[in-house]
């Protein structure tokens, strides 16, 4: 996923649960948390790749 796709998915997920008392329903809360965790993992992978790309560029510049 691209960063834009991750951000859009976060917006969609938040809209689905806006103004709802999902926390009163464990199944809904669990699903929302799982989707949120998946998006956080995608974001972490994206950041890790950006860091590796930056480090690679710095090594090429220095070497």
**pLDDT of 14 above 70:** yes
Q: How many domains does the chain have?
A: 1
Where in the sequence is the domain holding 25, given as residue range(s)? 3-62
46-62 pLDDT, tens digit each:
999 999 999 999 989 87
The pTM score is: 0.69
* C-alpha to C-alpha distances, 12 to 7, 49, 52, 61, nearest whole angstrom: 9, 24, 29, 40
**pLDDT of 45 above 90:** yes
Please, what's the b/e burial string for 40-55 (b: 16 or more CB within 10 A of its CB; e: otherwise)?
A: eebbeeeeeeeeeeee
Mean pLDDT of the region 37-52: 93
22-36 pLDDT, tens digit each:
667 778 778 888 988
């Amino acid at each position: 996923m691209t960063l834009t796709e991750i951000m859009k998915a976060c917006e969609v997920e938040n809209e689905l649960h806006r103004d709802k008392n999902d926390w009163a329903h464990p199944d809904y809360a669990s699903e929302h948390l799982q989707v949120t965790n998946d998006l956080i993992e995608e974001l972490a992978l994206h950041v890790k790749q950006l860091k590796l790309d930056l480090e690679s560029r710095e090594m090429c510049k220095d070497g």
